[in-house]
Amino acid sequence: MDLFRHIGCIQFDPIDIVGRNPDLVLQSRVAGYRPSLLEKLMYNERRLYVGWDKMAAIVQSAHWPSFARHRALMVKQHGKPETPEMKLAPFVLEEIRKRGPLSSRDIEHDATVDWWWGRKKRLVGASLEILSAMGIVLVHHRARSIRYFDLAERILPREILEAPDPHPADEDYQDWHVVRRIGSLGLAPASGAPEYWWAIMGVKGTAARAAVLTRLAERGDVVPVAVDGVPKRLFFVRAVDLPTLEAAGEPSKAPAATASATFIAPLDNLTWDRELLRQVFDFDYCWEIYKPKEKRAYGYYVLPVLYGDRFIARVEPVFDKKRRVLTLSGWWWEKGVRPNAAIRDALRTCVAEFAAYLGADSVRLSDTVVEDKRLRSALDVEG
């Protein structure tokens, strides 16, 4: 929960190769993390829920009142009673009210509707998606990839549901959400790709965003930052994060620590700004999951490998859930990396912790990876 309070949200993605994106984000940051910890916070204690912040994201339930504007916008955009989804909504809600948490599969109705990217979707599923965006229903729990929805009023505590919006003025809300997003990014670009600022109402354009950032900087909530070697690009950090940034720039002021290694999620907050990765870390990362196989430079589900403050490699892990075997099916060192004893020790610990997070009983290297003597000796793993 300290991590969620610090970074605001974690982007949700349902694809599960070695855990879903939120699990991968958390295993790289929380010592001893296991997926059951997130499940408990979301579905037992209800301290977190899947909402919308930049994209579909896991957010704190305590922030539900602050997202009242977004839910109202969803009602305005999608709540027209004549649409097929809303015509079906009363039936869907009554089924949930009578029968308890349901998946779309549990509600019998054969109609389909045109959905995102030109795909067909069952009308029941589309109706549940819209009702969820409006905050009328929420995900009660998941069974693997299947979501079960229940009424929001039966999931979140009444004191949260009935709490007023803490930001009644648009400016107050924008200030809160922009500072929150800067915390999610860590180092936020003043300009660039608009997706860094998605779902923050009223700051869609560059001019509107600049006005909010200027206001926050004048008030001292955020600090403008330039990066050596990155010309013509201005960034912002939260003022509360400035001591951490300054300590990182002066190792003598930072506590001594042995550099560690970790596998980074494909949609980790650190990777949201791919241009930043190229400019600051000299790391060119593209999640190739949606590329045809013949057009991939690396692999289907490839994760960056971070050592200390450097990206040193990419890994394609595959987990056999039945046999409980973690396989490193692909490994690509970054140019110029020479794995010394410290890197080898860090990677050995990293892979062991990653296997423990997955609940793997053993680790193996693919036939291709096992030929990499540097990696094999570092991990002390046979093919």
What are 240-258's pLDDT values in tens digits?
Answer: 999 988 888 776 655 556 7
**H or E segment at 306?**
strand 303-307
Where would I find the H helices in 134-169?
158-161
CA angle 52, 1, 163 (to 5 degrees): 55
Q: Which pLDDT score is estimated for 71?
A: 96
Q: Which pLDDT score is estimated for 380?
A: 67
Q: Which pLDDT score is estimated for 56?
A: 93
19 sits in the region (left: phi over 0; alpha: psi -120 to 50; else beta) called: left
Give this prediction's pTM. 0.94
Q: What is the pLDDT of the chain when averaged over all its residues?
A: 93
CA angle 369, 372, 376 (to 5 degrees): 85
Q: Which pLDDT score is estimated for 383?
A: 54
The residue among 242 and 383 whose pLDDT is bigger is: 242
* Domain span(s) for CATH 1.10.10.10 in the chain: 170-253
Lowest-pLDDT choice from 145-149, 188-192, 274-278: 188-192
**What is 170-253's CATH number?**
1.10.10.10
Evaluate whether 331 touches 346 at the Cβ level (below 8 Å): no
What are 78-123's pLDDT values in tens digits?
Answer: 999 999 999 999 999 999 999 999 999 999 999 999 988 788 999 9
* Beta strand pairing call for 146-151 and 137-143: antiparallel
Residue from 285, 259, 281 nearest 272 by CA = 285
Query: How far is it, in rounded angstroms, from Cα 261 to Cα 325?
Result: 21
- Cβ neighbours of 318 (radius 10 Å): 17
Q: Which pLDDT score is estimated for 57?
A: 96
Q: Which fold has domain 261-379?
A: Aminopeptidase (3.40.630)
> Is residue 192 over pLDDT 80?
no
> Is residue 326 over pLDDT 70?
yes
Which residue type sits at 358?
Answer: L
Q: Which residue is it, tokens 């494909």? A: 266
Q: Quick one: average pLDDT of 163-168?
A: 96
Q: Quick one: average pLDDT of 220-245?
A: 93
Q: Which pLDDT score is estimated for 248?
A: 81
* Domain span(s) for CATH 3.40.630 in the chain: 261-379
Q: Crossing angle of helices 206-219/170-185, nearest 10°?
A: 90
